[in-house]
Chain A
Amino acid sequence: MADATPADATDSTNKVIPTILEREDLVLNNRSFGWITNRICGIVENRQPLLWWLIFIPCALMALIGVGGGLTYLVLSGVGVWGNNNTTMWGWPIVNFVFWIGIGHAGTLISAILFLTRQNWRTGVNRAAEAMTIFAVMCAGIFPAFHVGRVWMAWYLAPIPNANAIWQNFKSPLLWDVFAVSTYFTVSLIFWYLGMVPDLATIRDRCKSGIKKTLYGMFSLGWRGGNRQWRHYEMAYLLLAGLSTPLVLSVHSVVSFDFATSVVPGWHTTIFPPYFVAGAIFGGFAMVLTLMIPCRKIYGLQDMITMKHIDNMAKIIALTGSIVGYAYLMELFVSWYSASPYEGDAFRLRTLTGPYVWAYWIMMFCNVVSPQLFWFEKCRRNLWVVMAVSMCVNIGMWFERFVIIVTTLPRMWLPGEWGLYSPTWVDIWTFIGTIGMFTALFLLFLRFLPCINIAEVKWTKKEADVHHDEHPHPGEAIDEPTYKGRRDDGGVEGSSSASSELEPATTS
């Protein structure tokens, strides 16, 4: 970060070079490139710690019983085994759907938006966060697919004429959801996979011959690390980051349209798209922290996922939590200011007099009160506090979707149809099953794939930059993180003309 004190303009013989404020190191203890490779590939190559098995087996069982068993029972018996009833036709299943999709958004934000804003610290966590996105979207997709009732007709959602030759209703947000979530999954998968190709090549090159080398070799596509490949690769990465940024903003907006385009009081509000997106990022970062804090301890990754990383993620949680808190307060304000009796009643029922008031206040505490701790640096850098607040936020974000759906639907326009909702054991077990599925998939990812982006972490080291030990110029950051393109004189791109005096004169 360049220093703010300007050089004295009138004194040209006594030039003051301002001190450049050093950024915190992203790779601690001066680890070498080889150490980084060994540490990350070692997780894949060596035996897993016992804890891996102790968590994996129960989670896999939970997934099998909850998701496998629960969904089979659902398809065999019908949607009646869920707690959904008339007026609350969206209960836990859609709460879970929005919950899981929201969690996925942090991965794309870390990969795409933090890349575009040149936050190099993202390299320690982006691979795991993207993996988390893929698995969260898989868990999420189960619910809309199976809540249709007659699952064997779910192909009606695809953009082809259905069995009666009728086309889908492209004006419906439910169908926009299908397109948005499918696109999100596909693009995230492409981004995650392309990001892994150089790292899979690293693992391939360390393997002795055998089935492992063949598989890693196949999936690394024969990557050689040549600059002629890197330049296209970097461009593709930039393009995918640029595409994923509007995608992540649009997907949860489209999910919010499921609610916002209705006419139900409590749902029919324009604040939903930004509120949902901020909430998704909020919940997603909490999940990233929940996963990363144990991982870095168990696998010894503290030098690459440093306290600076955790500090930054906690700051993002504080920010998005504040946006979410603001959205809650705005909803309450508008329910009064609008003078709409239905809107006012909807929120009175939600906060004071209705049957689910307890859920609303759990949500408020977890989402608004608990992240306020992150204003204090001591709290952001204390792993126990961070872990506790992340867990709170995970719970709070589930309750937020619960409040949105289950406090609104039982209290809609006609008092005659007001009812209550409670989940059945199938609902509960299916949700527990998805938690197990998510954790089990994440553990498999840790077992077989490089959990940190090896090439990018190496690239963030100071030694990786060819100009790192050269005299810094006033106003220029010490590390220029991104590729800026060629200048026609063939010289060093992106720097001011003054720096060319550092290079030996080249013929151009």
Chain B
Amino acid sequence: MKRVHGYLAEFESPKALYKAAKQARDAGLKNWDVYSPYPIHGMDAAMGLGRSKLPHFVFFGGALGLATGFTLASATQTVVFGKLFSWLPGGLPYPTVVQAKPTDIFTTPAFFPIMFELTILFSAFTTLFGLLALMKLPRLHHPLFESDNFARATDDAFFMCIEARDPKFSRDETEGFLREIGATDVELVEEQI
């Protein structure tokens, strides 16, 4: 049983794809994408997409890292702050006493390297997982992989795919539209279900 995924159109150059993308955007299409071996400069605006929301996630990840660094270092080194955590199993945390120096001083500058490194670490993890979530990867199977020609999307070819679930998709007219905006080759991509 096959289901139509959409039309995959090949374009001869990034410029042709860019122009076509603007026309597809202006035609009001929603479920479509362009495929290229490298990110085409200006394509986001041509597709009508805004900036990625990833920095928002990363900011909170970094803030969490900063707070973790501060809490970890302060709660365990200073009796002052450690009292707040004395209800945890283990009771009041034991700091390392170095050469009888007092441990109830709040030496926050000494904790800056730890706070800084944890900020970067947590930000990096958030970037990684946020990116995977936003890209909706890993997704090892996708209907487009059924097309043999599509393998060239990571090599030297430029494609646009208008998906069947788009409200403006029509089996007869969309192919014509794609040829109108400059496609050199249009293929119907179907998936097995």
A interface with B by C-beta (< 8 Å): 32-34, 37, 159, 161, 164-173, 175-176, 179-180, 182-183, 186-187, 190-191, 194, 198, 201-202, 204-206, 217-218, 221-236, 239-240, 243, 246-247, 250, 254, 257, 454-456, 458-459, 463-467, 480-483, 485-487, 490-493, 506-507
Contact = CB atoms under 8 A, between A and B. Distances in A.
B121 A490 contact: no
Contacts of B90: 161, 165
25 contacts: A168-B76, A169-B95, A170-B111, A171-B110, A187-B120, A194-B128, A201-B154, A221-B132, A222-B139, A227-B33, A227-B47, A230-B36, A235-B131, A236-B127, A239-B54, A239-B55, A254-B113, A254-B117, A455-B37, A455-B38, A456-B38, A467-B41, A483-B42, A483-B44, A492-B45
B28 to A, nearest CB: 11
Interface stretch (B140-148, B167-175, B180-188): B140-148
B73 interface: yes
Nearest to B54: A235
B15 interface: yes
Interface residues of A: mostly helix, strand, loop or mixed? helix
Given A167-B95, A227-B34, A227-B35, A487 B45 contact: yes
Contact of A459 (B13, B39, B55, B139): B39
B64 interface: no
A225 B114 CA distance: 38
B77 A490 contact: no
A486 B110 contact: no
B102 interface: no
B76 to A, nearest CB: 4
A224 B155 contact: no
Given A170-B72, A464-B38, 15 more contacts: A167-B96, A170-B77, A171-B111, A183-B117, A222-B138, A224-B35, A227-B35, A232-B54, A234-B52, A239-B54, A239-B127, A464-B14, A466-B15, A466-B42, A492-B45
Interface in B96-153: 96, 98, 107, 110-111, 113-114, 116-118, 120-121, 123-125, 127-128, 130-132, 134-135, 137-142, 144, 151-153
A223 B110 contact: no
Contact of A171 (B38, B77, B120, B137): B77
Contacts of A218: 138, 140
- Nearest 4 A/B pairs, CB to CB: A33-B156, A221-B138, A167-B76, A235-B52
A201 to B, nearest CB: 5
A254 B117 CA distance: 10
B26 A506 contact: yes
B38 A459 contact: yes
A250 B117 contact: yes
A166 B95 contact: yes
B100 to A, nearest CB: 13
B1 interface: no
Contacts of A485: 44, 51
Contacts of B128: 190, 194, 236
B73 A170 contact: yes
Question: Which of B37, B77, B96, B130: most chain A CB closer than 10 A?
Answer: B37
Nearest to A218: B140
B43 interface: yes
A180 B153 contact: no
B51 A222 contact: no
Nearest to A250: B116
A172 B151 CA distance: 53
B49 A167 contact: no
Nearest to A223: B137
Contact of B49 (A164, A182, A228, A463): A228
